[in-house]
Every structure is written in C-alpha cells, then in structure tokens.
Chain A
Amino acid sequence: MRSIFRNPLAVAGLCIISAILLMAMFAPFIAPYDPDAIHVKTILLAPSAEHIMGTDGLGRDVWSRMLFGARISLLVGIVAVGIATIIGIFLGAIAGFYRGWVDTVIMRLVDVMLSIPTFFLILAVIAFLTPSIWNIMIVIGLTSWMGVTRLVRAEFLSLRNREFVLASQTLGAKDYRLIFKHLLPNSLTPIIVSSVLGVASAVLVESGLSFLGLGVQAPQASWGNILTDGKEYIEFAWWLSLFPGIAILITVLGYNLLGEGLRDALDPRTSKN
C-alpha cells in the first residue's frame, strides 16, 4: 500500500481523479448557473467574468454544464467498468477454476467478442436501441469484459496449483470458498489495474458516442455533446471545443496515470533497477 504513495504516477493520477470526483459530486453546489437554463439573450458568449467558460448555442453556461457533464462521464465510466468487471470476474473465475469444456466455451466466446470491431458493435446496438445513459453503460460494459476475463482466468490458472490451494482442497474446502476467499483476493491486482484503465477507456467511448449524437442525449450535459455543439461553431466559439476536450484529456490522463502507477507499485515483477 505504501508503495502506491511513493509512485509519482499513481500519486499524480490520484490527485487528478480526486479533484474531478469532488467537483462532480459537489456540482450542484459549485455550479453558478443551472446547466439546463436556456437564455436566448446570452447565446455564444466568449468566456468572461460572468461565464468563465462562455456560453453555448442555447445560452447555457458552459462551466456549469461541464460540472454536470463530469458527473455523467464519470458515472458512465464507473458503472460500465463495474459491469464489465463483474462479468469478467465471473466468467474468468469459472473458466480458470473448472477448465475443461467450460473453459473452452468461455474462451471461444471471448474470441468471438474480440473479433467484432467493438466500436461498430457499440454503435449498432446503441443506434438500434434508444440512446440513453443506461443503455450506454450496459453496452460498454457488455463489450469490455473480455480483457478482465482473460486476466482473471490467467491468474486462476497459475494460482490453482499452488500449495495453499491444494492444502485447502485436501481439507475439504468447498469450491466457492476457495474461489472467494483464496483465489480471488490474490488476483485482485490485475483486476484493479484493468478496471482503472477501463474507466479511462469508457470515458473516451462515451464521449465519442455523445459526440456522434448517439450517447447522452440533449438536454442532459455530457462533455461529448458539448463538443458536438462546439463542432458547428468551431472557429467562432473556440471555447465550446477547447474546454470539454481538455476535460476529457485530463480525466482520462488521471485514470491512466493511476492505473499505470498502481501496476508499477503493486506488481512485484516490474523491477525498477
């Protein structure tokens, strides 16, 4: 644990993410304006003292929308990864523990899912269902579990033959006890790293979808759909394009730093000499 705090990457990432999480959580208190309040008189104003990030095509304050957008982007990222991780742990554990035909079936399924161009799949599914936050979360979750599955399976395969497992089995421990009390806790490291990195990726996918108009729908604010508005007025209202992009950049960067930092700190195999 202490090594985490000594790792500069992890610390940097942690700082960034905490800052954004705090801002997102306290958005209703920090935001100076109602993010959905349309004011026809304040359309497309450049950043100023009253609107530090300017206003958009409907006169809404961009800074307030960014704060609420942070909630959406983070929520989607975390829930999507949560779904993917739960599925991944479940499938990976079963595959790694029981092996045999169960393992084969699951790994074939992983292969199938990995062979379909993911963004296409997400695009098609979202377009065919109604785009909504829940659908996006579920769909991203359902298309990102493959990596976790492989990781968990690999860990289980390698841990399975360790002495403490064999000992427990001789003592008559039931399967699920083994899985939950012994194998899983030891596989946590790669799962955590993968989840953190997964949030970064999910945030990027969500903002891409929102940008295309298939993600978070108006009037709800999301960094991606603020950018969609910005696209039309790119050379006139630069603030609509600049700020959301930077926000996404910083958030994803934060998660990546944390993830890589955790990997460095927790993984005994990476030596620093």
Chain B
Amino acid sequence: MFNYKQYQSQSFKHSAYSSLAGLLIIMTLSACDQKPSTDHIDYNPTAPIEKGGTMIDALSGEPSGLIAMIAGESSASAIASNIFNSLLKYDKNLELTGELAQSWDISSDQRTITFHLKPNLKWADGEPLTSNDVMFTWQTVTDDNTRTPYGADYKLVIKAETPDKNTFRVTYAQPYAPALDSWSGLHILPKHLLQNQDINTSSFARNPVGSHYYKLDQWKSGESISLSRNENATQGQANIDRLVSRIIPDRAAQFLELMADNIDSMSLNSIQYARIFPARPDLNEKFSLYKELGNSYTYLGFNLKHKPFDDIRVRKAINYAIDKQEIIDGVLLGLGLPVASPYKPGTRWSNPKLKPYSYNPQKAIELLKAAGFEDHDGDGILDKDGKPLAFEILTNQNKEREMSAVLIQRRLKEIGIDVKIRVVEWATFISRFIKTGDFNVVLLGWGLGVEPDQYNIWHSSQQAPGQFNFIGYQNKKVDHLLEKGRLELNPDKRMKIYHDFAEILLEDSPIVYLYAGYGLPAMHKRIKGIDNPAPPAGIGHNAYEWYIPKPYRRNEMSAN
C-alpha cells in the first residue's frame, strides 16, 4: 500500500524546509553589502580650506535639555557650547579672553567688573544681542525658582547694571577672583524668547536659539542631535557646515562605529591608543591620534579624622611607598603625567618647583617606624599597639581607578600594609560613604582647574556632609591663602598665592597625587586644520577652523 503517511509528512516537511530556506535567502539578500567601499581613499594629502561638510561624533549620554545651567550632564554642556556664547572664554593657552565681550575693566577696588560687549551682536533668529540678555541670564541663574545647582557664584553679585546696550557691569561685596572664570561658563540666553517662560520647563531646552557658530537643526530623541551653521554667529563663520552627534552610550560600540567610518572622532583610552592602533595599519591610514593635557587628576585621599591618617608621617610614608610611574606605565600605558599640585602642568597656576614624592619604600618604612609602626608580631604586617596597619581603599566603578588600586595594594603590601579594595557604585559611594565620612581611604579624582580657586575642596569651613572637603583637611595657612586668592584679581599676584598653597599642600600630603592622564582623541584624517601638538587648551580650541576638503566628505545618504 502506498505509504501516505510517509508521503504526506515528507511533503509537509518539504514545505517546512523550503519556507525556512526561503526566509534565510530573503534575509541574506536584503542585507547585501550596503556601503560603497571607502577603504581605498588616501586621506593624507592636505587641500585648501573649503566651507562645507559634516562632522560626526558620538555622545555617551543623551542631554536632558540644552539649557546648560539646568541640565547637569556633560553631554548637555558639550552640545550647548556649540550653540551658546558666554561673556568670556579661554584661549589656546588657557588664558581668559573675550567671547561676547571685547574687553573688560576691573575697578581699582577690584569689586566691580565692567564688560564691554562687541558691537552688532545678533541672535540666530536675527534679533540683537545686548546687555539686557546678559542681565536676564544673570537674573535667571540667581533666581531661587530656577532648578540649577550652579547659582552660588553668581549670587555673590550685589549689583548688576546695564548702563547701555553694550555694557554689563557687576559689583561684588568683596573682590571675587573666580568671578571671571564664572563668566566664562555662563551661556547667555535670549531674553526675548524666555522672558515669559518658566525656564525649568520651557520647550526652549529642546528648541534652543543661541548665538554661537551653530544652531539646532534636528534632535532625534535617543538617536542623534544635528547642528547646522548659524548665519548670524557672533564669532564669525565656522568652516564645517554641520555637526552631528550620535548617541552611542556604549564605548565599545563607539569604537566599532569609528572603525566602520560612521563617526569621525572619539576619545580613546590608553589601551586603544597604545596597543590597538599601532597594530592596525588600516586604522592608522584613516585616523590621526593626538595627546592633550587631561582635565582631571586621580588621587588617593585619606580621611584625616581617622587614625592613623592624622599622622603626617603615615601619610608621607604611604606617598613614598607608591610607585607613581609604575601606575602611569601600567594603567595609562605611559600616557599620563605625574602631578604635584592640583593644576595643569605647564600652566601659570602650576608651581614648576614642586616635584612629586619619589618612589622610596625605604624612607616609607623609616617614617612608619618613627610613627610607631613595626612588625612586632612577625606576621608580615606592620602594627602598633597590637593593631595592624590595615585599611580599605574605596573607589568607584572605573577601570583605571580599580587598576591603580590594585597596584597600590601590591606596593603597600611590600612594606607591610594590608590593603583591601572595595569598588562601589557611584551614587551609593557618595551617599553611603562620602557624605557620612564613613571611609578611611578613597581613590578618586578632581578636575584640573583652569580657575585656581580650590576653596570648596580645601578650606576648613567646607567639611559639612555633602561639601567637598570630605577628607577633613585643616590648615590655617592654607585657609588664609585660599581666602586671599579669592580676593586677588591680579593674575601675577594670584599666581604666587597659589604656588605657595600648592607647596604647603604637597608638604602636608593629605592626598597622594597619582597621575593626570592625557586626553587621547582620535580624529579622522578627513578633518583638516587640527593643531599638532595640542596646545594646553586641547585640540578643540580651534574647532571652528577645521575643515573637510570636498573629496573627503561623506556621501550623506549612504552613511549607515
């Protein structure tokens, strides 16, 4: 008998198999190679400057809005800095210069600053930009109803005046040297568009109108933010027509996109810079690598209110016991600098006479011995009064910090200090350990300021929970210097004050300066006009002068 069962199940199987096959074929066909290969273009030759083109970069997070004073994230200020101007800015050597202001005067009692705006400034929508806008911005940032954490500096102004359209004058109760820096960080907002709006909820944050080189073209939520040329830009015209920032939160994906030629720039980490790129000639054909002064330094901080860290000999001993060059070579693959003060090396505020503590374990042991720590019970760990010298280093989830902690742990073990490492998630770190003062040693970072004032971090009055002197540093001389530094507006006199400050800080060793890593941007070679070597302000200082020669521009439509 004909085996229907076999036959029918065969044919059913056939149809099942063929549908599967069909599906696979369809998927493969539709996924055919999309891009015309750009692999054979030589990007090395330069070409004359031409306006036009699009530069694409990546953002790790999406801004919550583009009004920088309200949105806290770095991605927000990064984009907003292309849209808005401030009164002042920093030039390539990190000296203050005017942006909206063409000049400024400081009164003889140093309490009043008068900014003279450049003439004929306009907003992107064509309206004139005047001192009224500056006044409006100042009023907004100091308004108690504005949800901003940045108001403190501006509230110190006791009187703000606009004698005429192009003049803005502020008076402080006392001379306040950080004021000038604060005016370089305040994006001036348009009064005519915001005066009847609630700044906290206004749709302006997603639809801003500024005055800088670019204006917002399109914001695709969760995907990308595109900026296009602002014809009324106050500072002139940039060369590149459009800036697109793609939101790619994952660094690994960013790197893949870089390799696939879907973004033009990325800031690399040490391993990518020093190990991966050198091994890939195809990448080197397309990208140029740069080194810039980093913006932060990493340190090991002691809780000065806990024993034994109140003993300066213990702190210095730990300082001598750590091999900082080893950390730079191992963690940063050599791409960083040791620092001896909280300022960018090579800038005016950094005291050139100060040298970091050398690696000297012998000296460390001697200092600890003088402080009463010896290995009395022969277990390999130093002890005093029966208690071993052991503590926990707390740090947050940051690869470089974790690696540094491990190297430190090893070096300290060698001289007999038992160290455990604990990695804590950031928000928990702050609220559970920092604010409560419940820690012994932390491994963290601070910014390397262009504004030398360090009052918030080192003054003895800043030790309340939630304030930044959480390590509990108290030094009358330092307090005095920090106070004086705020009152002195003359740059040279100020410099001396902060040089002295850094010297005392180094001597007291309340923290161990570990390193200041380099910024390591990788830029596609199609972007021309980049300064190499990078000046102190970094390669981005003249971004508006960069250009993309026509033959190197992307074909917009097929950019995958």
| Residues of A participating in the B interface, judged by any CB pair closer than 8 Å | 36, 38, 40, 43-44, 57-59, 127, 130-131, 213, 217-219, 231-236
Q: Is A40 a contact of B326 with CB atoms below 8 Å?
A: yes
Q: Is A58 a contact of B403 with CB atoms below 8 Å?
A: yes
Minimum CB distance partner of B253 in chain A: A231
From A130, A131, A218, A234, give the contact of B252 (CB < 8 A): A234
Q: Does B16 contact A (CB under 8 A)?
A: no
> Known: A44-B275, A236-B275. Contact between A219 and B329, CB under 8 A?
no
User: B290-321: which residues lie under 8 A (CB-CB) from chain A?
Assistant: none
Q: Is B425 a contact of A131 with CB atoms below 8 Å?
A: yes
Q: Is A213 a contact of B252 with CB atoms below 8 Å?
A: no
Give the chain A neighbours of B179 by CB distance below 8 A: none
Docked CA distance A236–B269 (Å): 14
Q: Is B402 a contact of A218 with CB atoms below 8 Å?
A: yes
Docked CA distance A131–B423 (Å): 10
A133 CB → nearest B CB, Å: 13
Docked CA distance A59–B406 (Å): 12
Q: Is A232 a contact of B425 with CB atoms below 8 Å?
A: no
Minimum CB distance partner of A38 in chain B: B406
Q: Is A218 a contact of B251 with CB atoms below 8 Å?
A: no
Give the chain A neighbours of B424 by CB distance below 8 A: 130
Give the chain A neighbours of B272 by CB distance below 8 A: 232-233
A-B pair count, CB < 8 Å, reads 57
Docked CA distance A127–B397 (Å): 13
From A40, A58, A130, give the contact of B428 (CB < 8 A): A130
Interface range, B side: 20 to 34
Q: Is A213 a contact of B428 with CB atoms below 8 Å?
A: no
Give the chain A neighbours of B32 by CB distance below 8 A: none
Give the chain B neighbours of A233 by CB distance below 8 A: 252, 271-272, 276
Give the chain B neighbours of A36 by CB distance below 8 A: 406
Minimum CB distance partner of A58 in chain B: B403
Q: Does B255 contact A (CB under 8 A)?
A: yes
Interface CB pairs A-B, < 8 A, 26: A38-B330, A38-B410, A40-B407, A43-B275, A43-B330, A44-B275, A57-B271, A57-B399, A58-B403, A58-B406, A127-B425, A130-B425, A213-B397, A217-B397, A219-B402, A219-B406, A219-B421, A231-B252, A232-B251, A232-B252, A232-B255, A232-B271, A233-B252, A234-B252, A236-B275, A236-B279
Q: Does B256 contact A (CB under 8 A)?
A: yes
From A38, A131, A217, A235, give the contact of B259 (CB < 8 A): A235
Docked CA distance A43–B256 (Å): 21
Docked CA distance A36–B423 (Å): 15
13 additional contacts, CB 8 Å, given A38-B403, A40-B326, A127-B425? A38-B330, A38-B410, A40-B330, A40-B407, A43-B271, A43-B333, A44-B271, A57-B399, A131-B425, A219-B406, A233-B271, A234-B256, A235-B256
Give the chain B neighbours of A130 by CB distance below 8 A: 424-425, 428
| Residues of B participating in the A interface, judged by any CB pair closer than 8 Å | 250-252, 255-256, 259, 269, 271-272, 275-276, 279-280, 326, 329-331, 333, 397, 399, 402-403, 406-407, 410, 421, 423-425, 428
**Interface secondary structure of B, over-half rule:** helix
A232 CB → nearest B CB, Å: 5
Q: Is B255 a contact of A40 with CB atoms below 8 Å?
A: no
Closest 8 CB pairs of A and B: A40-B330, A231-B252, A236-B276, A38-B406, A232-B252, A217-B423, A218-B402, A218-B423
A52 CB → nearest B CB, Å: 20
Minimum CB distance partner of B276 in chain A: A236
Give the chain A neighbours of B330 by CB distance below 8 A: 38, 40, 43, 59
Docked CA distance A213–B252 (Å): 14
Give the chain A neighbours of B252 by CB distance below 8 A: 231-234
B279 CB → nearest A CB, Å: 7
Minimum CB distance partner of B424 in chain A: A130
Most A Cβ at <10 Å: residue of B255, B326, B329, B410: B255
Give the chain A neighbours of B333 by CB distance below 8 A: 43
Docked CA distance A40–B410 (Å): 12
Give the chain B neighbours of A38 by CB distance below 8 A: 330, 403, 406-407, 410
Minimum CB distance partner of A229 in chain B: B399
B172 CB → nearest A CB, Å: 43
A123 CB → nearest B CB, Å: 13
B152 CB → nearest A CB, Å: 30
Docked CA distance A232–B271 (Å): 10
A242 CB → nearest B CB, Å: 15
Give the chain B neighbours of A127 by CB distance below 8 A: 425
Give the chain B neighbours of A218 by CB distance below 8 A: 397, 402, 423
Docked CA distance A235–B279 (Å): 12
B499 CB → nearest A CB, Å: 34
Give the chain B neighbours of A232 by CB distance below 8 A: 251-252, 255, 269, 271-272
Docked CA distance A240–B417 (Å): 33
B278 CB → nearest A CB, Å: 11
Give the chain A neighbours of B407 by CB distance below 8 A: 38, 40
Minimum CB distance partner of B269 in chain A: A232
Minimum CB distance partner of A230 in chain B: B252
Give the chain A neighbours of B423 by CB distance below 8 A: 217-219
Minimum CB distance partner of B397 in chain A: A213
Minimum CB distance partner of A234 in chain B: B252
Give the chain A neighbours of B397 by CB distance below 8 A: 213, 217-218
A3 CB → nearest B CB, Å: 29
Minimum CB distance partner of A220 in chain B: B423
Docked CA distance A127–B428 (Å): 9
B68 CB → nearest A CB, Å: 28
A220 CB → nearest B CB, Å: 10
A203 CB → nearest B CB, Å: 23
Q: Is A40 a contact of B256 with CB atoms below 8 Å?
A: no
Docked CA distance A215–B399 (Å): 15
Docked CA distance A176–B133 (Å): 80
Docked CA distance A235–B424 (Å): 29
Give the chain B neighbours of A217 by CB distance below 8 A: 397, 423
Docked CA distance A233–B268 (Å): 12
Give the chain A neighbours of B403 by CB distance below 8 A: 38, 58
Give the chain A neighbours of B425 by CB distance below 8 A: 127, 130-131
B168 CB → nearest A CB, Å: 46
B253 CB → nearest A CB, Å: 9
Minimum CB distance partner of B271 in chain A: A57
A129 CB → nearest B CB, Å: 9
Minimum CB distance partner of B250 in chain A: A231
Most A Cβ at <10 Å: residue of B397, B402, B425: B425
